[in-house]
Structure 1
Amino acid sequence: MNLADQENAAARARWVKETKIGEGTYANVYRGYDVKTGQKIAIKKIKAGAFKDGIDISAIREIKFLRELSHPNVIALLGTYSKAQSLSLVLEYLDTDLEAVIKDKTLVFKPGDVKSWMAMSLRGLDFCHSRGVLHRDLKPNNLLISSKGELKIADFGLARETGDVDSRMTCQVVTRWYRPPELLWGSRSYSYGIDMWSIGTIFIELVLRKPFLPGDSDMDQLKKIITVLGTPTEEEWPGHKLLPDYVNIGEESRGQRWTPWIMSVGKVGVELIKEMLRYDPLKRISAKSALYHQFFLDDPRPTAPIKLPKPTAELVPRAMAPDETEGKPELKTAGGGVKRKAESPDPFGDVKKVARRLF
């Protein structure tokens, strides 16, 4: 047995699988523990035999980036090992995710709580961006939360390094509700602004306690964006009509008065959201600049993570589950099989209404 085989055998002996907590076409997720420390872990077991050309590219990406990204607000990859025709990723176990927190209407959010979740998200994202990594799928169920209330960015299966200005990347990234207009109009050249748009929509979702722009299709998503923010002009977004898939959505809109819905974050908070949701991706605020925004300096101060509201029951974080459906957010429960699929509520309706349907 060579050294690599010895190390692989030692890893298999150290990380013990227990209960299956998620199942998909290409991977299963298990709760387990570390024999050395007794620490609870999550094991994502990817079936190499299920792929015609070997291991899924998303697994390779996830391993690559998590090995490079070590930060308190990014999920930790503890190890990897192989057995037969499968590859397993060993991840730190996190109790729940931000989507579950948002949907739990028994929890009451204070302004400091929203500020704390946003600060942790931006710290993790700033670290990724400073290392040249685009996440490309930020959404509440990819923001996991530990037992101590710490928020960590997870699921780097769609992440990639930024290229040069002329590099061409796929526009079929970011779950639809959190996808920026440049991707909806087919841009193949983009940068950190796509993640900042996603963070902006998550910010509003924390306030509304429901998705901000829940489109049924890419065209419907664009219509919802334009209905709320108004039709982009050439002055505020130069060259947007030259994007590959640009189509005129219809009658020009000056946008709805949406800011009163989110005034609980104060005038300065609304200003930060507007900086995140600028049409021109080159003019969107960066994660680093957002962290120095007056919003985080004013009272109330961000709530300490350990004091943040959290569901009393332990939930399986969706980002630890192996199967994602593009543009159709779902949640698999620990019991397996039960899914929730979001409806498309009127974004101008009563913000207290729950726009969810259980299938």
Structure 2
Amino acid sequence: MEMYETLGKVGEGSYGTVMKCKHKSTGQIVAIKIFYEKPEKSVNKIATREIKFLKQFHHENLVTLIEVFKQKKKIHLVFEFIDHTVLDELQHYCHGLESRRLRKYLFQILRAIEYLHNNNIIHRDIKPENILVSQSGIAKVCDFGFARTLAAPGDIYTDYVATRWYRAPELVLKDTSYGKPVDVWALGCVIIEMATGSPHLPSSSDLDLLYKIVLKVGNLTPHLQNIFFKNPIFAGMVLPQVQHPNNARKKYPKLNGLLADIVDACLQIDPGERLSCTDLLHYEYFTRDGFIEKFLPELRAKLLQEAKVNSFIKSKDNSKENELMKDERKTMFTNALETEKEKKPKEIKVTVIKVRGGKGDTSELKKTECEGRHCHQDATENVRALSQNAKPTASDLPNPASPITNSNDGKDVPQAEGYRMMPPINLTNTNMMVANPNSNLFHPNPRARWRGGSLMSAVTK
């Protein structure tokens, strides 16, 4: 942490703390997730899993991991700092996001999840807190502590996953053969929340959530009913049978008709009937009025602008490193010369040569007397030439992909591949706004009574 200045705490959870920091050399603002030092293996498991996935997968709508290091036995993950989350916006826009903003965010979120699913990765914790939004409107999915590679047929998952309100019925009933559709279900819940400003299935227990799923979405499939009746936790419990309208727009009357179609495709009780992210991106909600053709160039322009700023910061950082290297080489060379002088004391020999006319005596004498001074001047010129011409080679530069060794315990911590510096953000409102009543984004909102103190779980668990 010596390279960073701490600016404040962004969030805190059961697994760690997230701090807002500034790089002392470049001025870059970053978010550093510091995992607690705990005896349980779960903390290291979550940290290792997040590092693994963020090193392997890169997409413009996934958060960027800058570097990883270990200090005082605590793992530190350095991320690009992004202004706020979708949850922060919902605290401000208590009746939901404006339709154009909503469509742009959803398009990017779907692209991110589609990318993960195409690489056989399920996120398993899609929720408003885990969707970051930059000042320019770029949405990025974050928090990969629960992400998993898709299991082979017959394999099972045993980890506890997903925040309850966004948990698919197969997860609630602990059906271990779930897959990509759990992310699609969570997205459907997030869409309703983004559109209306209120969570669709807030619940206090698994039974409460199951009751609301049946009441608001649909009845359990025979397979899920069988799991329900066999689970001792739900012994003696009976779920209601509800008749739901077949028309999605009648089922979700608060939503725009085309958006209701997407939500209905996401919130299917049977996981096999939920559409893929690729199919959802081809829904009329996105294809009408040339939205994709218009928005993609806009998105690329924003990403290009960020990339230019990134390059400027990285170039600035590299130039400072180069100057430090030059100064270090100059010092080393000068020290070597001084050491050599100590070993070989200066000897001045004066030779008088008689030349006809008398001028030769004087000129030759001067030349010999200045011999020691010439030696010093030559050394100075050599140092100057070295400092001007020294250019670090690829082998001289630090390799960000190489592991970092902790001086305390000698263990290696994997470093993020493709070190990319993100642009400094002129912050006006941060994630701290959620917990700060004086923040500009603080707004009286009935959602707050459901959230309680868990608003910071976007970056920690």
TM range (shorter): 0.7 to 0.9
Select 2:20's aligned residue among 26, 31, 35: 31
Higher helix share: 2
- Secondary structure, aligned partner of 1:211: coil
Structure 1 residue 281 and structure 2 residue 271: aligned? Answer: yes
Structure 1: tracts of 5 or more residues without a match? 1-11, 307-311, 319-330, 341-351
Q: 1:44-55 to 2 correspondence within 5 Å? A: 44-48=33-37, 50-53=38-41
Structure 1 contact 95–147 (Cα < 8 Å) conserved: yes
Q: Given residue 448 of structure 2, which amino acid in structure 1 is its aligned partner?
A: R
Partner of 2:360: none
| Cα deviation code 1:222-250 (max 9, x no counterpart) | 1001011232354xxxx333437665633
Closer, same or farther in 2 for the Cα pair 1:216/1:52, shift >3 Å?
closer
What is the aligned length? 311
Q: Given residue 137 of structure 1, which amino acid in structure 2 is its aligned partner?
A: D
**How many percent identity over aligned positions?**
26
- Distance between the aligned counterparts of 1:64 and 1:15, measured in 2? 24
Structure 2: tracts of 5 or more residues without a match? 303-426, 454-461
Partner of 2:139: 151
Q: Using the TM superposition, give the Cα deviation of residue 136 of structure 1 relative to its aligned residue in structure 2, in angstroms.
A: 0.6
| Cα deviation code 1:166-199 (max 9, x no counterpart) | 1111263111110011111110111100000000
Partner of 1:292: 282
Structure 1 contact 213–221 (Cα < 8 Å) conserved: yes
Closer, same or farther in 2 for the Cα pair 1:176/1:106, shift >3 Å?
closer
In the superposition, the TM-score normalised over structure 1's length comes to 0.77
Partner of 2:385: none
Partner of 1:270: 260
- Secondary structure, aligned partner of 1:64: helix
- Distance between the aligned counterparts of 2:445 and 2:244, measured in 1? 22
Closer, same or farther in 2 for the Cα pair 1:217/1:205, shift >3 Å?
same
Q: Say which one has the larger Rg.
A: 2
- Distance between the aligned counterparts of 2:204 and 2:105, measured in 1? 27
Structure 2 contact 122–150 (Cα < 8 Å) conserved: yes
Q: Using the TM superposition, give the Cα deviation of residue 295 of structure 1 relative to its aligned residue in structure 2, in angstroms.
A: 1.2
- Distance between the aligned counterparts of 2:194 and 2:130, measured in 1? 14
Structure 2 contact 96–196 (Cα < 8 Å) conserved: no
- Distance between the aligned counterparts of 2:169 and 2:96, measured in 1? 32
Structure 1 contact 134–161 (Cα < 8 Å) conserved: yes
Q: Which stretch of structure 1 is more off in the superposition, 92-101 or 170-179?
A: 170-179
Q: Given residue 19 of structure 1, which amino acid in structure 2 is its aligned partner?
A: G
Higher strand share: 1
Select 1:113's aligned residue among 77, 96, 101: 101
Q: Given residue 222 of structure 1, which amino acid in structure 2 is its aligned partner?
A: L
- Secondary structure, aligned partner of 1:78: strand
| Superposition RMSD in Å | 3.1
Partner of 1:354: 446
Partner of 2:210: 222
Closer, same or farther in 2 for the Cα pair 1:271/1:107, shift >3 Å?
closer
- Secondary structure, aligned partner of 2:275: coil
Structure 1 contact 316–333 (Cα < 8 Å) conserved: no
- Secondary structure, aligned partner of 1:148: coil
Closer, same or farther in 2 for the Cα pair 1:258/1:80, shift >3 Å?
same
Q: 1:189-208 to 2 correspondence within 5 Å? A: 189-208=177-196
Select 1:231's aligned residue among 198, 212, 219: 219
Closer, same or farther in 2 for the Cα pair 1:258/1:127, shift >3 Å?
closer
Select 1:73's aligned residue among 41, 61, 64: 61
Q: Using the TM superposition, give the Cα deviation of residue 283 of structure 1 relative to its aligned residue in structure 2, in angstroms.
A: 1.6
Q: Given residue 64 of structure 1, which amino acid in structure 2 is its aligned partner?
A: K
Partner of 2:430: 315
Greater RCO, 1 or 2 (C-alpha within 8 Å, sep 6+): 2
Q: Which stretch of structure 1 is more off in the superposition, 253-262 or 218-227?
A: 253-262
